[in-house]
Amino acid sequence: MADGRIRALVEAIHATPTQAVLYLSGGASQALGYLMSIPGASNTVLEAIVPYSRTSMIQLLSKIPTQFVSKQTAEDMALLAYNRALKLSKPGLSVVGVGFTGSLASTRPKQGDHRFYFSTRTSDRLWVSSVTLSKGLRTREQEDKVSSHFLLKAIADACKVSATFHPDVNETEVPDECEKLFDEDEELQQLLNGEICMKVYPFSEGHAPNSERKIILSGSFNPLHDGHLKLLEVATRISEGVPCFEISAINADKPPLTVPQIKERVEQFERAGKTVIISNQPYFYKKAELFPGSAFVIGADTAARLVNPKYYGGDHNKMLEILIGCKEIGCTFLVGGRNVDGLFQVLEDLDIPPELQDLFISIPEEKFRMDISSTEIRRKLGM
């Protein structure tokens, strides 16, 4: 049972808007118990995984670490947890990824140190710490308690909560801490490098709907125009969820956007007061993996390409396999009409395979029709 100081700290963590994914191995199990047993856990904990076996850790990291218990492994776990938290959280809420790996007292005496490493990753900060415990001083349960207290303090710090207690350690058990801070440019470069999967700019006014489902309108938005704004507005009335625009910094047919280009396009959404997500996934089946359970708002021309085997190497079965995979993770496509070569085309004009009929939902012409495109705007402006 948590004492008063621990309970107060966990309650303060739960009271913040920060949500967390935790990957813990080799210790700090009581920290998870505190977080889960004190009311308010659903405000904080998105997911918690304990990759305890070697195989489980290798699968989590997608590699064999040089050392399973090390500073680098804790950082890698925190970064993976951060990316996972971005996928699971509501757009705009702050998230933290937490990694912990330890080698504590066991049933057999250890030749090496009793030590643990723990790390937190947020949008602008990577923090890692290590503690070496005095051997023979505590039982396994007591060492787990100490490591749990350190980890709770680290989570509280990432949530901007001040901890009023200090773990019970002696003067030789001083934590070795390291911190890296990131500005916006560095974070966007990390996205372009594939280190992080997205960056959210929560410019929308008011509170987001009480839903984890996202309604996403993807595009280059060069420039953003009234047609985009109206289409997402109508789509959100058809399918409940949090409305978001999304730009992929990586393009399948063009060079990736530069950091200045991304920031320039983001400024449009700040002026419009609309949330935009920057990702690094150009293909819809990859966006579906990034935003499972979401509804993607597309034009009829895009829907036609999605079901055209030509874009899957001419393989009809591959097209079905990929799009059925999108359906199986809860994604749908809301299809608006689009002026294509002088003809206004809607979903009903397309030949959708029977297996995919329920993947696509029509946005009726009477609810949305706006014959405007970013390409036409650029042409008129001489861009």
Quick one: how many helices (H) and strands (E) in the chain?
Answer: 13, 15
**215 & 90 share domain:** no
State the total domains in the chain.
2
As given in the structure block, the two tokens for residue 217 are 């309108």
Same domain for 289 and 170: no
Same domain, 122 and 83: yes
Q: Does residue 80 sit in helix, strand or coil?
A: helix
- ∠294-297-300 over CA atoms, to 5°? 135
Q: Are residues 97 and 232 in the same domain?
A: no
CA-based nearest residue to 331, from 364, 302, 363, 289: 289
Of 212, 269, 273, which is closest to residue 246 (Cα–Cα)?
269
- Centre a 10 Å sphere on the Cβ of residue 173 and count the other Cβ atoms it contains: 17
pLDDT at 376: 57
Number of neighbours of residue 171 by Cβ within 10 angstroms: 5
Residue 377: what pLDDT? 44
Pseudo-torsion of CA 315, 317, 319, 320, nearest 10°?
170
User: What tokens does 206 get?
Assistant: 């008011």
Q: Which amino acid, residue 220?
A: S
Residue 285, burial from CB neighbour count under 10 angstroms (0-12, 13-18, 19+): middle
Q: Does residue 159 sit in the same domain as residue 203?
A: no
Q: Are residues 325 and 349 in the same domain?
A: yes
Element containing residue 10 per DSSP (H, E): helix 4-14
- Same domain for 106 and 51, yes or no, is yes
Answer with the one of 181, 205, 224 that is the final residue of a domain: 181
**Residue 264 to residue 254: CA distance in whole angstroms:** 18
State how far the Cα of 233 lies from the Cα of 178, in Å rounded to an integer: 45
Same domain, 37 and 106: yes
Q: In sequence order, which residues have a C-beta less than 8 Å from that of residue 18 and are 6 or more positions away?
A: 44, 93, 94, 95, 96, 158, 159, 160
Say yes or no: 198 and 276 in one domain. yes
How far apart CA 325 and CA 178 sit, in angstroms, is: 41
For residue 152, give the CATH number of its domain: 3.90.950.20
246: helix, coil or strand?
Answer: strand
CA distances from 290 to 97, 191, 244 (A): 16, 13, 14
Angle at 340 (CA atoms; ends 339, 343), nearest 5 degrees: 70
The model's pTM is 0.92
Pull the structure tokens for residue 306.
């999605």
- 34 & 148 share domain: yes
Q: Cβ–Cβ contacts within 10 Å for residue 6, how many?
A: 20
Bridge partners, residue 207, by sequence: none
Q: In whole angstroms, how far apart are CA 277 and each of 108, 127, 223, 231?
A: 50, 24, 16, 17
> pLDDT in tens for each of the 383 residues of the chain?
568 899 999 999 999 999 999 999 999 999 999 999 999 999 999 999 999 999 999 999 999 999 999 999 999 999 999 999 999 998 888 999 999 999 999 988 888 899 999 999 999 999 999 999 999 999 999 999 999 999 999 999 999 999 877 898 999 999 999 999 999 999 999 999 999 999 999 998 655 556 778 999 999 999 999 999 999 999 999 988 999 999 999 988 889 999 999 999 999 999 999 999 999 999 999 999 999 999 999 999 999 999 999 999 999 999 999 999 999 999 999 999 887 777 889 999 999 999 999 999 999 988 776 766 545 544 555 55
Between the alpha carbon of residue 307 and those of residues 284, 292, 300, 354, the distances in Å are 12, 20, 11, 11
Q: Taking a C-beta distance cutoff of 8 angstroms, is the pair 336, 235 a contact?
A: yes
Q: What is the pLDDT of residue 202?
A: 92
The residue out of 124, 151, 181 marking a domain boundary is 181
Tokens coding 380: 């008129």
User: Residues 141, 24: one domain?
Assistant: yes
Torsion of CA 212, 216, 221, 227, to 10 degrees: -120
CATH number at 214 reads 3.40.50.620
Q: Where in the sequence is the domain holding 31, given as residue range(s)?
A: 4-181
Q: In the listed set 164, 181, 198, which residue is the last one of a domain according to the structure? A: 181
Q: Are residues 169 and 193 in the same domain?
A: no
